[in-house]
Amino acid sequence: MSLKNNYFILFANCIPVKGAKRSIICDLQRNIIKIIPNSLYEILTQYKKFDISEIKQLFNSDQNFIIDDYFQFLIENEFGFWTTKENIELFPPLQLNWDSPSLITNAIIDINKHSNLNNLQKIFLELDELGCKHIQIRFFDSVSINRIISIFEKFETKLITSISLIIKFSKAIYSNINIFINIRRITHITLFMATDNREEYKGHLKIICVKDNITSSNDCGNIDFNYFFSNIYFFSESQYYNSCLNRKISIDINGEIRNCPSIKKSYGNIRDLSLNEVVNKAEFRVYWTMNKDQIEVCKDCEFRYACSDCRAFIKDPANIYSKPEKCSYNPYNAKWETNC
C-alpha cells in the first residue's frame, strides 16, 4: 500500500452482513462465506470513506495491530483493494434488485407407487406456460428405470432447462445411470439409501449418493451451513423475498397443489385446477414477500441472505414469522446447538 492508496474498497461482489454476535462477508462471485467480527463490519460499513489513519484514530492505539490484521485478512482473501480518495466514487455498490420473467421459477413433483402419472403431461405443459425453468422430481418408493423413462416420454416443454431427480438407490438404477446422460435436461440425480456418501460426474450429470433415507415430504427443511448459498441470484432475491417459497410451487404424491410439499395447506388438486389458477390466487403468494428480515431470530442472523428458509416446519406453528424448527443455529451466541 502506497501513501496515496490508503482507502480500502471492498469489491462490489463482496458484501458484509451483520449478525447479533458476529458478521460475514459473502463473496457472490466465488460462492464464499467468511466469518468476520462485528468490529470489522463496522469499519467496512460506517467508516468506508475514512483512510487507514483516520480509522485507527477512532480506536485505542493498542488496537492498531488488530486493524492492520483486519486489512491483511481482506487483502489475502481478495475481498478488496487499496485506492486513493479521488477514486472512491468510481466504485459504486452492487445493485441488488431482483426480478424474473418467470411467474414460477422452480417446481417440486413428488411421486410414489400410488401417484397418477397421467397428470404429468398436464403438469409439465402448465409449468412451461408459467415460465418454470427448474424441476425436482422425488420418487419416495423403489422405481424402475422403465417407469422413470416413461415420464420423460411425456416431457414436451420449451422453457424447462434443468431437472433433478431424487431416487432410492438400487444396483439396477446405478448400473444403468448412463441412460440419463442422453436426457440432457437431467442435470442432477440424488440416490438415497446408498452404501456411502459421495459425489461423481458422468458427463454433464452430477450424481450424489447419500446414506440417508428419504421417505416423504417431511424429510426436508433442515438448515445447515453446508446448504448455504453465496451467489448474486440467491443473495439479491433474499433481500426482498422468501428464499424458499418465492415463485415456487409443488405437486404432492396425490396431486395436491401446495407452496411446498411439506406445507399442509392445499390450494386444490391438479385434476380440477390449472397451476395458473392457483398461482394467481393472492393467498398462494402470501409467503413470497416474507423475507428473512421479517422472521424471528433469522433477522438477527449473519447467514440470513445465504440460508434457504423453511415455513413448513417452524418453532411456533401459530406464528408464521417463527424461526425454522430444524435450524439449530443461535446467532446470539454464534453456536450450532444440536439439542435445539
pLDDT digits (tens, 9 = 90+) for 115-134: 888 889 899 999 999 999 99
Residues 252, 213: Cα–Cα separation, whole Å: 18
What does the block give as the cell for 301?
Answer: 442472523
Residues 266, 246: Cα–Cα separation, whole Å: 17
Domain borders along the chain are: 7-90, 106-330
What does the block give as the cell for 155?
Answer: 416431457
* Range 173-179 contact pairs with CB under 8 angstroms and sequence separation of 24 or more: 173/143, 173/145, 176/145, 177/202, 177/205, 177/207, 178/202, 179/145, 179/149
Instruction: Please write the tens of the pLDDT for every residue from 70-108.
Output: 999 999 999 999 999 999 999 999 999 999 999 999 999
**3-state SS, residue 203:** coil
pLDDT of residue 340: 42
CA dihedral over 191, 194, 198, 201, signed as positive or negative: negative
Pairing of strands 134-139, 106-111: parallel
Instruction: Please write the tens of the pLDDT for every residue from 145-158.
Output: 888 888 887 677 77
DSSP state of 179: G
Mean pLDDT by groups of 10 residues along the chain of 340 residues: 78 99 98 98 96 95 96 98 94 95 96 88 94 95 88 77 94 91 90 93 92 80 87 97 97 96 95 97 97 98 97 94 96 84
What is 290-318 written as a DSSP string?
A: --GGGSTTGGG-TTTTTS---SSSBS-TT
